[in-house]
Amino acid sequence: MKAAFIAYNQAHVQDIEDILHQLSIRGYTRWQDIQGRGTKTGEPHLGSHAWPAKNMATLCIVDDNIAPILKKRIQALDNSAPEQGLRIFFWEAIDV
């Protein structure tokens, strides 16, 4: 089992939901209206006057075999609009 943390520009919300749905990932936790900034590139999403964009984050626990597919789908989405900002991180989930 892996914990996937997806941090993304709130404009992606519909796409992310679609991907989770297609991969039959039912359970997730989502944060709305949060702030964040990429490590290397991209605009900050701070919800301020200077950087009005905002982020959302979704945390979901997925099976090990689903994780790579999820990663692939998320990266494809990121590549289609690199300026929007979208990242996925995995942890090992020890106990469910």
Q: State which of residues 63, 72, 81, 91 lies at the interface with another protein (CB under 8 A).
A: 81
Shortest CB 95 distance to another protein, Å: 36
Contact region with another protein (CB under 8 A), list: 11-19, 22-30, 32-40, 58-66? 11-19
Q: Judged by CB, which is closer to another protein: 1, or 46?
A: 46
CA distances, 75 to each of 37, 45, 52, 70, 89 (Å): 18, 19, 24, 9, 11
Report the C-alpha gap between 3 and 44 in whole angstroms. 25
Contact range with another protein by CB under 8 A, out of 29-37, 52-60, 65-73, 88-96 = 52-60
Query: Is 53:10 a contact under the CB 8 Å cutoff?
Result: yes
Q: CB–CB of 10/55 below 8 Å?
A: yes
Q: Which residues bind another protein (CB under 8 A)?
A: 9-15, 48-54, 80-84
